[in-house]
Amino acid sequence: MTADLFADQPPEPATLPIAPGAVLLRGFALDVDQALLKAFAEVTASAPLRHLITPGGYTMSVAMTNCGPLGWVSDRRGYRYQAQDPLTGASWPAMPACWRELAVRAAAEAGYGGFRPDACLVNSYEPGAKLSLHQDKDEKDLSAPIVSVSLGLAAVFQFGTAVRSDRPQRLRLVHGDVVVWGGPSRLAFHGIAPLVDGEHALTGQRRINLTFRKVA
Ligand code: MD6
Ligand code: FE
């Protein structure tokens, strides 16, 4: 018997179902976190983080960039994926192999074999930054899942249904967690509550999120 006499909670299973087609893989990225963060420094050195403008004219509180063949951008003209970084005019940096491999492994673990991401949206949250409830629906291929990797400070992830007015669940995502969703949950509304201030040993005062998609 190896029960932990000091634990006041039963251990959490590593794979938590969130909704049909959606799972949280607790700590799935932990064993490669240093490599992921080293690649983050490289990606953001060639495609800097920036605060995009929404079509409605607001500046997003989350700083974003991309890597891979296609990148998600927003400006006064709308939301879209494009092959060039509007800031530099160059192609987005290549998707780091350690990022792609983690995403493919997580998708398979969640039941989505053969995931071939062609875009990775990189989000950086500082205290107070948030992402309002939205659907990810700018991708042509809605049959592929999305894989989302959380690094650094914890955040509250709101996860609803495909109906905006349904009250979302609230999930605390911590460093190393990976969320995968697709199938019946692919068009679920979701968002991130304002980031609470804190300090993480590897990222400092911020949360980094990588979301992998199959766009084209
Ligand atoms: C974030 N994520 O976690 C924002 N979208 O910072 C997303 O908007 C998201 O995590 C689709 C699938 C997974 C996600
Ligand atoms: Fe999203």
CB-CB contact of 190 with 215 (8 Å) = no
Would you kindly state where each structural domain of the chain is located, as residue ranges? 6-213
- pLDDT of res. 3: 58
- pLDDT of res. 208: 99
Cβ-based neighbours of 47, under 8 Å, separated by 6 or more: 65, 66, 67, 71, 85, 87, 88, 92, 93
Ligand 1 site residues (CB inside 6 A) read 123, 131, 136, 146, 148, 157, 179, 190, 192, 209, 211
Query: Ligand 1, residues 64, 123, 157, 190: which to mutate, most atoms within 8 A of Cβ?
Result: 190
pLDDT in tens, 41-58: 999 999 999 999 999 999
| pLDDT band (50, 70, 90) for residue 133 | very high
Please check whether the domain covering 6-213 is classified as CATH 3.40.50.720: no
pLDDT score of 179 more than 90: yes
